[in-house]
Copies of this chain bind each other. A is one copy, B any other.
Amino acid sequence: MINEEALAAARSLDDCCALDANDPLRGLREQFELPEGVIYLDGNSLGVMPRATPERLQAVTREEWGQGLIRSWNSAGWFDLPAKAGNKIARLIGAGAGEVVATDSTSINLFKVLSAALQMQREDAPARRVIVSERDNFPTDLYIAQGLTREHGYTLRLIDDPAELPQALDAEVAVLMLTHVNYRTGAMHDMAEVTSAAHAAGAKVVWDLAHSAGAVPVDLLGAEADFAIGCGYKYLNGGPGAPAFVWAHPQHVDRFWQPLSGWWGHAAPFEFTPDYRPAAGIARYLCGTQSVLGLAALDCGVDTLLAAEPLGGMAALRAKSLALTELFARLVEERCAGHGLALVSPREPERRGSQVCLSHAEGAYAMVQALIARGVIGDFRAGDGVRPDILRFGFTPAYLSFADVWNAVEQLGQVLESGEWRKPEFKQRNAVT
């Protein structure tokens, strides 16, 4: 349990170390390979490597592939990896066993479920020809929706503020497509409330859990969501470009083909028949042969979260995550006042994911670079005139400590006080994911 009074009173590195000493999840950190001299606040972009992963990959290559060769599809369980990893992920997102598969990328999986949701509405409510989303949604989600609207003659309606949702959900809307936790601001939707409102308005709901799975408790079945997809390489620690995951509500899953109807989604893939016949259940959302290396690494990543189950699971991780983000936001206010930083993420805990974003009118990019040079890795997201440039800091409770938060804020304070972020070397822009 987090001691709320000790958290609110923490005003020194020693105070933060005391919080760590009392942190019931402190042992989870040992599962990870954290580089020397780095405070990693970018697990919402790429999670840290579990110590178990390189050895697992050695076994998959040298033994399973190298020695077992083709026989390992059966003997090493390769063919079952999407379901195996999917079942583990299901436990983190309020889905049932057999309802999730790990496969393909988030974008591809979104195409599948959005296609299925639109098909469902073409049968149930063919006059509904609008997809609603947020302009501030992660761009690839909007791009995938645009691919579908072009092919099938739908309209994509983008809102600028969640407050516009009730008005946007009119009788034309087929599907509401939202990312649960906003990738820029960390603002979190109330999944149950929004789903219920969308259903009342006759729309189906597709949730992108890229910044939720493994970061905040999610209850897909409890919220009666229709479809969900999410990312394997952020809070699930599956490694760069890890397979993503996909879920469909059991009451919809057998109703439709998704159009990426490949052989891994066939009811009898080894009969090699010329006609497609979709597998029962979520297996029909598989398509082609999947990366065994990627799935094995994802499996190791998800295991680091399941290790929290005896300690309280996602609820305990969420409590620590909120304590970390609350502490960070407060210390920034106290330590970094007067330098033009503003908090972009919601202050209310129930509306905040596992990240804290700060805006700065002119220096956001350079400040992030100056912090990286000091070993504090966050990231920068550009504004666009309406939205400000932001410094983005992700807090992964499984491997971050309260002392990390203190030290990160101390480094940020020094970057601001020294003015070192104004050096030309920190203004040179590179591609950053």
Q: Which residues of A contact B (CB under 8 A)?
A: 33, 35, 38, 40, 42, 45-46, 48-49, 53-54, 57-58, 61-62, 64-67, 69-74, 78-79, 104-108, 111, 115, 135, 137-140, 142-144, 146-148, 150-152, 158, 233, 239-244, 257-266, 269-276, 287-295, 297, 372, 377, 379, 381-382, 384, 430-433
Contacts and interface: CB of A to CB of B under 8 A. Distances in A.
Contacts of A139: 263, 266, 272-274, 276
Contact of A262 (B78, B143, B271, B294): B143
A275 B138 CA distance: 11
Contact of A288 (B105, B152, B261, B372): B105
A430 B142 CA distance: 43
19 contacts: A33-B66, A35-B67, A35-B69, A40-B69, A48-B69, A61-B297, A64-B240, A71-B372, A71-B377, A72-B240, A104-B105, A107-B260, A108-B288, A139-B272, A139-B274, A140-B263, A269-B431, A273-B384, A293-B293
Given A58-B58, A105-B104, A105-B288, A293 B431 contact: no
B293 A240 contact: yes
Contacts of A270: 382, 431-433
Given A54-B58, A241-B289, 13 more contacts: A57-B57, A65-B239, A70-B432, A79-B433, A105-B262, A105-B288, A107-B263, A108-B108, A108-B288, A137-B274, A140-B288, A144-B261, A269-B431
Contacts of A432: 70, 73-74, 270
Contact of A57 (B61, B244, B257, B372): B61
Copies in the complex: 2
A242 B292 CA distance: 8
B294 A293 contact: yes
A259 B151 contact: yes
Contacts of A137: 274
Contacts of A272: 139, 381-382
Contact of A104 (B79, B108, B240, B274): B108
A139 B40 CA distance: 46
B140 A74 contact: no
Contacts of A384: 273
Contacts of A274: 135, 137, 139, 142, 158
Among A53, A79, A107, the most chain B Cβ lie within 10 Å of the Cβ of A107
A65 B294 CA distance: 13
Contacts of A135: 274
B266 A70 contact: no
Contacts of A111: 259-260
Nearest to A381: B272
A107 B265 CA distance: 11
A79 to B, nearest CB: 7
Contact of A70 (B45, B62, B142): B45
Nearest to A297: B293
A241 B294 contact: yes
Among A143, A290, A295, A297, the most chain B Cβ lie within 10 Å of the Cβ of A143
A55 to B, nearest CB: 10
A73 B431 contact: yes
Contacts of A287: 105, 107-108
B61 A53 contact: yes
A292 B240 contact: yes
B276 A142 contact: yes
